């Protein structure tokens, strides 16, 4: 089974591409890590408790306000009824959902404190999401899918590109287009907050370059600078290349012959590992050249 890593930056159109890939004629299963990230921090989960324990004491609005229950009986309640109503209305702290806007304001930004808090939040959430991802991948494999889309905004940063046979980056060439789309989509964000969120997910042009570094069929870029029709054409072009390099019959071979699947998986991990090492070496060389140019 081919794992297609889908990534990009905020407001580049990654969700639209994911929707296209899940619909005919592709009908690919989607593992959306944004949805999984919400799941693993729902009230009562270990992830939720860790976030509340760390951020709660210094973030007064971390949790959404308790929703009061609507009165259903206008008659004077008995003592027992009044007690039960009070108990139901006083929602315990650990059961109130996270205020995602407040948490976002706490972790998005260029300051060292926000970078530290964002790192801690990622350390809480990422391992829990990975566990859910692996469970979903096993289900897709056993169901006989020839490919699955792993939708991860921070694919490279989280290291999950290692398990992907192909990486698709959705990008825009003009940062102003990205900012305009984000402000139009999330009108509640100020210009500074929008800029902080864009910067927190990394340079999309850098992600595109990193995808292309993987090789012609192992890393593809879907450009989304135009309208939806143009984007559909870009997606069709990318999927045509993916299908040519990993046909459906090959997925059945890997399913019917598990030892072959194991060998291919190990080989893929090796290729991706050494590819990452090469990219990191290249990045270090560029940084040295940049420092020398300033001297």
Taking the domains of the chain in order of start, what are their residue ranges? 2-29+146-294, 39-65+83-142
- The tokens of 247 are what? 């046909």
For residues 174 and 177, give the distance between their C-alpha atoms in angstroms, rounded to a whole number. Answer: 6
Cα four-point dihedral sign 89, 93, 95, 96: positive
Which phi and psi angles does 31 have, rounded to 5°? -105, 100
Identify which of 190, 221, 203, 193 has the alpha carbon closest to the alpha carbon of residue 286.
203
pLDDT at 66: 78
Q: Is 147 helix (H, G, I), strand (E, B) or coil?
A: strand
Report the Cα 151 to chain-centroid distance in Å. 6
Q: Is 66 left (phi over 0), alpha (psi -120 to 50) or beta?
A: beta
pLDDT at 155: 92
**Angstrom distance (rounded) from CA 14 to CA 8:** 6
Query: What spatial distance separates the first Cα and last Cα of the chain, rounded to whole Å?
Result: 50
Decide which of 3.40.50.300, 3.30.420.40, 1.20.120.350, 3.50.50.60 is the CATH code for 2-29+146-294: 3.40.50.300
- pLDDT at 185 (0 to 100): 82
> Could you give the CA distance from residue 283 to residue 25 in angstroms, rounded to a whole number?
38
For residues 229 and 24, the answer to whether their CB atoms sit within 8 Å is: no
pLDDT of residue 174: 83
List, in order, residues 6 or more apart from 199 with CB less than 8 Å away.
110
Q: What pLDDT does residue 79 have?
A: 46
Structure tokens at 102: 């407040």
List beta partners, residue 148.
Answer: 3
Any idea what DSSP says for residue 143? T
CB burial string 220-251: b at 16+ within 10 A, e below: bbbbbeeeeeebeebbeebbeebeeebeeeeb
SS3 state at 223 = strand
Enumerate residue ranges in the chain where pLDDT < 50: 74-77, 79-92, 94
As a whole number of angstroms, the distance between CA 183 and CA 194 comes to: 7
Question: Rounded to whole angstroms, how far apart are CA atoms 198 and 206?
Answer: 13
């Amino acid at each position: 089974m081919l794992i297609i890593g889908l990534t990009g930056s905020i407001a580049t159109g990654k969700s639209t591409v994911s929707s296209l890939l899940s619909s005919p004629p592709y009908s690919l299963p989607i593992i959306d890590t944004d949805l999984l990230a919400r799941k693993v921090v729902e009230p009562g989960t270990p992830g939720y408790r860790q976030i509340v324990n760390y951020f709660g004491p210094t973030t007064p609005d971390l949790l959404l306000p308790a929703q009061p229950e609507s009165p259903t009986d206008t008659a004077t309640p008995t003592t027992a009824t009044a007690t039960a109503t009070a108990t139901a209305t006083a929602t315990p702290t650990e059961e109130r959902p996270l205020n995602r806007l407040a948490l976002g304001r706490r972790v998005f930004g260029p300051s060292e404190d926000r970078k530290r808090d964002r790192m801690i939040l990622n350390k809480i959430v990422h391992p829990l999401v990975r566990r859910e991802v692996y469970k979903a991948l096993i289900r897709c494999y056993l169901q006989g899918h020839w490919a699955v889309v792993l939708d991860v905004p921070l694919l490279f940063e989280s290291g999950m590109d290692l398990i992907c046979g192909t990486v698709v980056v959705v990008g825009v060439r003009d940062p102003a287009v990205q900012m305009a789309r984000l402000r139009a989509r999330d009108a509640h964000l100020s210009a500074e907050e929008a800029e902080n969120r864009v910067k927190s997910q990394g340079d999309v042009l850098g992600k595109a370059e990193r995808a292309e570094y993987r090789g012609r069929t192992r890393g593809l870029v879907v450009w989304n600078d135009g309208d939806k029709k143009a984007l559909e054409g870009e997606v069709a072009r990318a999927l045509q290349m993916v299908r040519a390099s990993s046909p459906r019959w090959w997925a059945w071979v890997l399913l019917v012959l598990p030892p072959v699947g194991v060998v291919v998986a190990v080989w893929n991990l090796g290729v991706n590992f050494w590819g990452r090492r090469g990219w990191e070496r290249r990045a270090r060389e560029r940084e040295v050249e940049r420092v020398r140019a300033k001297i």
